[in-house]
Homo-oligomer: A and B are copies of this chain.
Amino acid sequence: MSHTIIGGALPAIPWEEKKNKNDVIWRYSGNPIIGWNPIPKAARIFNSAVVPFEDGFAGVFRADQKNGRATLFAGLSKDAISWEIFPDPIAWVDENGNPNPTSYAYDPRVVKIDDTYYIVWCDDMRGASIGLGRTKDFKTFVRMPNPFMPYNRNGVLFPRKINGKYMILSRPSDSGHTPFGNIYISESPDLIHWGNHRYVMGSGGNGWWQSTKIGAGPVPIETKEGWLLFYHGVTTTCNGFVYSFGAALLDLDNPSKVLYRTRDYLLTPEKEYETVGFVPNVVFPCAALFDAPTGRIAIYYGAADTYTAIAFTQVDELIDYIKNNSEVF
């Protein structure tokens, strides 16, 4: 059998059938899966990453503590819906096992390459930059050198080397809330030194939901039609930013090349848990699980910088939609 997604089976992927046959993407009926004050040390858990791990799932969570500081926590789950979040933040160590703490850390993405899980997050380097670390067991977390200097956010590693190089997407930013933003790609022979930076895609076009800035979301999913990249797009209203998300297909061998890209958003804040919270009107995808045989995809997204939620899609229907509603500019 030849699947559209180039990847493994994950029969335990969270799933619900859609209720409306015209939906390309639909929300989990149990949303949000993580609510206010989920653990004693965190007020809100959102914009978080989950991956298959051992006989279940592991996660790295953006947990804003009650002092307001964004911090990463790890956790485990059997079903990827009900989570045991560990009570204390990730205790980063350096290559020698000595403590190497972060100042703040947020919006993690996690990807397995070979036998190692790499975490990419927004890190403090006297300004927002891209942090990078690794773990094999979700107990010991080793911090690596930051791939980039400030100001940068939304770093996302590809799940394998392309033409012999590790590849990362990122979104050069400013020192504040950044009223602009395009996605770039960079490559590395060793995950330490990065270069050959190229522009991938930017804000704008006829889709006003992505008029202010965009940023890569979950780790790209390899498909026969290209790298499937969910990405967030932001528009600016009189009362602030609204974060939606769409998707693009990038060329498999040269992912700086955009093949297709949604002109319209796939998901925009509509539900109460998306429109009301610490930051109203935000849906922000940071992870996706997939099951290649069925083409099922479960997208994990932060809602209103307060909640964690899931949306579902099926890869063939999604790719048809992207192709038929594409605007590349």
Contact check, B126 vs A151: say whether CB atoms are below 8 A apart. Answer: no
A186 interfacial by beta-carbon distance below 8 Å: yes
* B contact residues around A192 at 8 Å (CB): 195-196
A194 interfacial by beta-carbon distance below 8 Å: yes
User: Which residues of A from 272 to 312 have beta carbons under 8 Å from B?
Assistant: none
* B contact residues around A127 at 8 Å (CB): 172
Contact check, B146 vs A197: say whether CB atoms are below 8 A apart. Answer: yes
* Binding-face segment, A5-13, A42-50, A174-182, A255-263: A174-182
A180 to B126, CA, bound (A): 11
Contact check, A197 vs B126: say whether CB atoms are below 8 A apart. Answer: no
A329 interfacial by beta-carbon distance below 8 Å: no
Contact check, A170 vs B194: say whether CB atoms are below 8 A apart. Answer: no
Interface of A is mostly: loop
Minimum distance in angstroms from A215 CB to a CB of chain B: 14
Most B CB contacts (10 A, CB to CB) among A175, A186, A193 go to: A193
A188 to B188, CA, bound (A): 11
State the interface size on chain A (CB cutoff 8 A).
Answer: 32
* B contact residues around A129 at 8 Å (CB): 197
A267 interfacial by beta-carbon distance below 8 Å: no
Given contacts A126-B182, A174-B175, contact A197 B149 (CB under 8 A): yes
Minimum distance in angstroms from A328 CB to a CB of chain B: 16
A115 to B125, CA, bound (A): 36
Minimum distance in angstroms from A129 CB to a CB of chain B: 8
Contact check, B151 vs A199: say whether CB atoms are below 8 A apart. Answer: no
User: Which residues of A from 159 to 197 have beta carbons under 8 Å from B?
Assistant: 170, 172, 174-175, 180, 182, 184, 186-190, 192-197
* B contact residues around A172 at 8 Å (CB): 127, 149-151
Partner of A193, one of B148, B182, B193, B202: B193
Contact check, B145 vs A170: say whether CB atoms are below 8 A apart. Answer: no
Contact check, A151 vs B151: say whether CB atoms are below 8 A apart. Answer: yes
A244 interfacial by beta-carbon distance below 8 Å: no
* Given A148-B197, A151-B172, A174-B175, 17 further pairs, Cβ under 8 A: A125-B199, A126-B182, A127-B172, A129-B197, A145-B197, A146-B197, A148-B149, A149-B170, A149-B172, A149-B186, A151-B174, A188-B193, A189-B193, A192-B195, A192-B196, A193-B194, A193-B195
Query: What 9 A-B pairs have minimum CB-CB distances, sorted nearest first?
Result: A193-B193, A193-B195, A192-B195, A174-B174, A149-B197, A150-B172, A149-B172, A145-B196, A149-B184
A-B contact pairs, 27 of them (CB 8 A): A125-B197, A125-B199, A126-B199, A127-B172, A145-B195, A145-B196, A145-B197, A146-B197, A147-B195, A148-B148, A148-B197, A149-B152, A149-B172, A149-B184, A149-B186, A151-B151, A151-B174, A174-B174, A187-B193, A188-B193, A189-B193, A192-B196, A193-B193, A193-B194, A193-B195, A193-B196, A194-B195
